[in-house]
Structure 1
Amino acid sequence: MAYMFYYLYKRRGDGEHLERAFHYLKLAADLRSTSKAKKEVTFLCGDAGFYVLKALCYYEDGNQKKVNYYIDQLKSLGNLKVKSCEILYGWSGYLYSLLLLNKHIPNAIDPTYINTIANKIISLGLNHPSKPPKCPLMYSWPTSSSKYLGAAHGLSGILYHLMHVPGLCDTPKARDLVKGSLDYLKSIVSEGGNWEFFVPQGEKCTTADDDVAQWCHGAVGFTFMWARAYEVFQEKSYLEMAEMCANLTWEKGLIRKGRGLCHGISGNGYVFIELYKLTRKQEYWDKAIQFLAFCWSEQAKEMYTPDCPYSLFEGVAAIPFYVADVLDPLHSWGFPGYGL
């Protein structure tokens, strides 16, 4: 909720939204004070998100002392012992936090520190004990045998954030490792244009998961990786892959799991906002509008109630983000809690 109100403040300039962001951060602080949970490094499921939002809100409020304090708290998380690299619980989620902060507070984090975290992620992927022969980087969560491919827990989400590190892919080693991993993912796509949850047993993904259309697993989440790959490397094949994923999302993306981001209508709709920003093709904006309209349709009443119905990733907190971005897609920050 705090992030939602902060975002609305940045998009609309209404001071009341910033006040509400502070209100929800106070509630979060109260919950944290009574929690016995261990510290976690990520934006979405860890302490980094709290520290980043505190720093961002105090920056808007003009309190530099508080900004510096929460930046130091964020940097201290880099000393934690973390084995995974995925976005929800691992180093990629921490990298996203650093990049998001630097996007809105210039030079808040030293680029050298960001590169240190990125190189840690690359090193862990390079030294994975059971990576496929044709894939230079591979990651697992929560065990070494669970080699996820999707945006939430797997390779595509990690590559997406590595490609946002300024200058990283200009270095020959990182460029070859990232492009080699992209080309591996391109080579294993199923005949239906989708990917399995995990690294396939054979040379290609089967069609078993071709009907899965949600951000966390499969083609929906892959869209953002391919779009970013096209921006970084300017290879047409990556744009073609992104548009293939968007086509699958249009055909199968009106799912019944709610209106949220992770596996819901608004998350799927962000595919079209991403492609509209990338290509300026009107059809993608039109499709984003149609997905928004579906959220209030009669058919939408048949959707399941998510476990966390008011949250950002499962519930209605996603809708204000999506409405703001459908109305003005060219100024969208991308998929909330993930895009940059």
Structure 2
Amino acid sequence: MMTPQENGPPRYIKNPWFNVLLGEHSTRSMKDLRYEISSLRLRASSFAPKPRRAAPRREDLCHHPQDKPTTHWASEMEVQPALSPLSSQAVYRRGNECCFLYTFPLQNINSWEPFRRKFEAIEEEIDLDYLMQTSRRLAYDMSIHSGIGGIIYMYYELNNITGDLNYLLTAARLADKQVTHRHMGRDRPSFLRGHVGFCAVALPVLAKAGELNEKKEQYLCDGVEQPRSEFFAWDPSTTVSNELMYGRAGYVWALLWLRQQQDIVNPREGGARRREWASEEDIRKGVALILDVGKQGARSKRAKELFNKNPPPLFWQWHAKCYLGMAHGMAGILAVLIMARKYLPSESDLRDFILPTVDCIVAQQFRSYNFPMYAGSRSDSLVQWCHGAPGITLLLLLAEKVSREILGMGYMTQALKCGEVRHL
């Protein structure tokens, strides 16, 4: 990774692990480095002016992994599988120093405390209310992946972890403003992209904050339920994909996450809820359809060609390629199926179809411990959440527990190898 210079032409950062959970792989100028909070990317020039603060002490900064050349920094990460797709992450710049904050799914307040001061320093640099009024990106992007939905999700998770009411109030204020004053788009109905993810996050946020009235609940539930007819229709000619970022797996993920949150935020009273935010029937339909498409794909001529006449039990394509990664490939679809294992049509689906397909992905691993973008590719260049070892690591961690329960053996060895990608 290149470092900035005080004089001379601008240098560039090219760090494929920068957004290890979101999969961003970008090259950016140090003079135009973007602040990042959750999944929102904002230009520093658009920030509202604020009084200058004293520069943070060097010991308070998270140093770049190159500061410890003898230890591969990826091996030091503690990545824990979670149903939630994101966690708080940000980048903070002061002069020529950059502070990269990686916060993986946090389990309790003790795991949050080391990052609190750094996060608060970033908050002081960003005026969200000002940006809500001036940023064209916020005006159109409500998604968790790259819009205001990701910020709302982050504050909601921080409230769950720390119990700090201010985080919940901030999340509720942002969500309420979107519901009240913005028209909701109908594109890309999956958890990470589009309106479904925002609606799925806004429902528990507003309910927990006591701001969810009947009108808002109806509006948000309609936003979640609207894609059902399109996504759950079996039509081989349809353009609906099965991958995580834009397809059926992403929609099932939204339903899974929303149902989990409803059990926490809106538990049953007297044996029944006023309204179900996500029904078991919808989740079962989505899971069954994804499995059917995968089984049919495994019988195709294309699957046999790519896997030397020994195709995996499940096979999906996106844009005519068998992608392997988390965002658009088999890893993301399999991860959702594992998380939805109690909704599988048969108990044997996990043992006979899902885990053997995970084995086929593991067999594609390079000697560098990275993975190709798609089956049949020999290119070993992308190390992202979208494509490569980082996303597949999360699949292996999810498969580890269920595999040990069923087969008595897991994937921890392979997951640890993913943290030692050699060519970074």
TM-score by length of 2: 0.52
- 2:397 aligns with 227
1:239 aligns with 2:396: no
Distance 1:86 1:222 in 2: 14
The alignment partner of 2:395 has SS state of helix
The structural deviation recorded for 1:242 is 0.9
CA RMSD between the two structures: 2.5
Distance 1:115-1:64 versus aligned 2 partners, 3 A rule: farther
Say whether the 8 Å CA contact 2:172–2:205 is kept in structure 1. Answer: yes
Question: Matched residue of 1:167: which SS?
Answer: helix
Q: Is the 8 A contact 2:283 2:343 kept in 1?
A: no
Query: Is it true that 1:131 corresponds to 2:303 in the alignment?
Result: yes
Residue by residue, what CA displacement relative to the aligned partner does 1:222-245 show, whole Å, maximum 9, x if unpaired? 111111111111153412111111
Cα distance in structure 1, aligned partners of 2:178 and 2:321: 32
1:17 and 2:167 are equivalent in the alignment: yes
What is the one-letter code of the residue matched to 2:260?
K
Report the number of matched residues.
241
User: Shift of the alpha carbon at 1:140?
Assistant: 2.2
Out of 357, 376, 386, the position equivalent to 1:181 is 357
Q: Distance in 1 between matches of 2:254 and 2:366?
A: 33
Q: Which runs of 5+ in 1 are unaligned?
A: 254-340
The alignment's TM-score, normalised by the length of structure 1, stands at 0.64
Which stretch of structure 1 is more off in the superposition, 74-83 or 239-248?
74-83
Percent identity (aligned): 25
Q: Equivalents in 2 of 1:227, 1:122: separation in Å?
A: 21
Larger strand proportion, structure 1 or 2?
2
Q: Distance in 1 between matches of 2:423 and 2:409?
A: 25
Q: CA deviation at 1:69?
A: 5.1
Whichever residue aligns with residue 93 of structure 1, its letter is G
Partners of 2:176 and 2:206 within 8 A in 1: no
Aligned-residue offset at 1:72: 4.5
Once the two structures are superposed, the pairs formed by residues 88-237 of structure 1 within 5 Å of their partners are: 88-106=245-263, 108-128=277-297, 129=300, 130-132=302-304, 133-141=310-318, 143=319, 145-168=320-343, 171-200=347-376, 206=378, 208-209=379-380, 211-234=381-404, 235-237=408-410
Q: Which moved more, 1:20-29 or 1:10-19?
A: 20-29
Gap change, CA 1:59 and 1:136, over 3 Å in 2? same
Do residues 49 (structure 1) and 171 (structure 2) align?
no
Query: For each residue in 1:179-225, what CA deviation from the matched residue of structure 2 results, as whole angstroms up to 9, or x when unmatched?
Result: 22112112222222221101116xxxx3x31x532211111111111
CA distance in 2, matches of 1:147, 1:13: 43
Mapped pair 1:40 → 2:188: yes
Quote how far apart the aligned CAs of 1:174 are.
Answer: 4.5
* The structure with more helix, counted as a fraction of residues: 1
- Relative distance call for 1:184 and 1:116 in structure 2 (3 A) is same
- Does the 8 Å contact 2:369/2:418 carry over to 1? yes
Gaps of 5+ in 2: 1-150, 232-238, 264-275, 305-309
Q: Distance in 1 between matches of 2:194 and 2:203?
A: 15
Question: Does the CA contact (< 8 Å) of 2:172 and 2:209 recur in 1?
Answer: no
Which aligned segments of 4 or more residues in structure 1 are displaced greater than 3 angstroms? 26-32, 62-69
Given that residues 41 and 78 in structure 1 are in contact (C-alpha distance below 8 angstroms), is that contact kept between their aligned partners in structure 2? Answer: no
Partner of 1:273: none
